A = this chain, B = another copy of it.
């Protein structure tokens, strides 16, 4: 059931500085910033040969990563995103095993235009897990 690692998301307090560090010091390919007001973040992607890193900066008053940055002022790893072939089948299997799906339990359209769900970190080794419908 578990497919590719779609991305690792890192919340940062200063997107321009973080993007520049990955570009200049690590020689990485970094995309231009995209504001996603409906998700409360501005994002850049670091394109690695096999996956990508998403750097997230809060956008707007109700950013879902604002509280995380209060607790982690330098930034930090925020979530991992795994691809699954069938997000509803994955959800049903996880819920049957006792895992909690955040929100109302229904997929919503994520930052890549595909259905996504988030699983409760307490049910996954302290890790916020995003599942994204592949393809």
A residues sitting closer than 8 Å to B (CB atoms) are 1-5, 8, 10-12, 18, 21-22, 24-28, 46, 48-51, 53, 55, 72-77, 80, 82, 90, 93-94, 97, 99, 121-122, 124-127
Contact = CB atoms under 8 A, between A and B. Distances in A.
A99 B126 CA distance: 28
Contacts of A55: 125
5 contacts: A2-B26, A8-B77, A21-B124, A25-B97, A48-B82
A3 B48 contact: yes
A22 B2 contact: yes
Contacts of A124: 21
A50 B49 CA distance: 10
A132 B76 CA distance: 20
A127 B4 contact: no
Contacts of A18: 125
B82 A10 contact: no
B82 A126 contact: no
Contact of A27 (B1, B10, B74, B126): B1
